[in-house]
Amino acid sequence: MGGRRVPLTALVVGVAVVRLLGQTQAGQTTSKFDVASIKPTTFAPGLMGVQFLPGGRVVVAQSPLPLLIAAAYGISQERIEWPKPAPPVVNELYNIEAKAASSDSLARQLALMLQSLLAERFQLRLHRETKVLPVLALNVAKGGPHLIKAPARDCSEAPSTPKPCHVFHGGPARGASGKTVNMTDLADFLTFLGRPVIDHTDIRGDFDIDLPAWSRGTEVAARTVDDGREPTPDPSSPTMFAVLADLGLKLDSTREPLEILVIDHVERPTPD
């Protein structure tokens, strides 16, 4: 797949996080898509998720609003707080096709445009707060890490090619691989476990990390959705906790103060 895709909570091909928190104010947007279509839909087996594609395109397949916000702001869905009761639009699915005026737009620029689209069409208004939340801390296990240093490679991001570095590709049935990834990249990848994952390893540098196939038996969250390309994981495969142990790493449950997005207002989108 030739672009960045943000999963619902599953492992998918080309997972990466646009780290926009701290770089833009909540609700602040700087650019817009040239054209955009938003259509309500219902669930059907197959592709789900948000794709930032070469050529300045964004394609969203049967995805709910929490996933759209997570993709736009580079934050896990667990760090989005909704009004109580949550508005009905939270549980509705949408297909979106949007294109930037420039075909050279990079993923981080497309994410900002998606913020603009949410503000304009969904009337999304939000602000930031800091709250103490349950998290998984990525730590070094007893005996130290077993990691392979990444060789020198060109990591420049081109709009016509998938992101070459700092991203994992794969899923539980096939395993996943990351080239020139750091511990923050690994922590971002592990958010499919259902909690924010925070890097506490103090390990510096870039590595090539290959994760073998793993089972979903002990994942913190069972909210997994496949994209139609990923086979069913083998339940006899090791858990992700065991996979990390082979790398000399571990996950510890704890609580930490984290920045969250608080939703102040949202509506069903205006029609095309």
CB-CB neighbours of 252 under 10 Å: 11
CB 81 within 8 A of CB 262: yes
What percent of the chain has a predicted confidence (pLDDT) above 90?
58
Per the model's pLDDT, the better-predicted residue between 178 and 78 turns out to be 178
Amino acid type, 223: R
For residues 111 and 71, give the distance between their C-alpha atoms in angstroms, rounded to a whole number. Answer: 7
pLDDT of residue 35: 96
* 61-106 residue pLDDT tens: 999 999 999 999 988 888 999 999 999 999 999 999 999 998 888 8
Q: Token digits for 170?
A: 């794969």
Q: Let me know how long the chain is.
A: 272
> Rounded to whole angstroms, how far apart are CA atoms 90 and 226?
20
Angle at 95 between CA 233 and CA 50, to 5 degrees: 50
| Contact between residue 148 and residue 63 where contact means Cβ atoms under 8 Å apart | no
Q: Select from 63, 66, 56 the least CA-distant residue to 31.
A: 56
Write down the pLDDT at residue 20.
41
Report how many helices (DSSP H) and strands (DSSP E) the chain contains, helices first.
4, 13
Structure confidence by residue, pLDDT tens digits, 228-248: 445 566 677 899 999 999 999
**Interatomic CA distance for residues 17 and 203, integer angstroms:** 20
> Which residues, listed in sequence order, are joined to residue 260 by a DSSP beta bridge?
129
Whole-number pLDDT of residue 128: 96
* SS3 of the chain: helix, strand, coil, percent, to 5: 20, 35, 50
User: Which residue type, as a one-letter code, is found at position 242?
Assistant: A
Q: What backbone torsions phi and psi does residue 233 show, to the nearest 5 degrees?
A: -65, 145
For residue range 103-113, what is the model confidence (pLDDT) as tens digits?
888 888 999 99
User: Tell me, what DSSP letter sits at residue 39?
Assistant: E
Supply the pLDDT for residue 107: 83
Interatomic CA distance for residues 90 and 77, integer angstroms: 12
Q: What is the mean pLDDT of residues 220-226?
A: 38
| Residue 228 Ramachandran class (φ > 0 left, ψ -120 to 50 alpha, else beta) | left
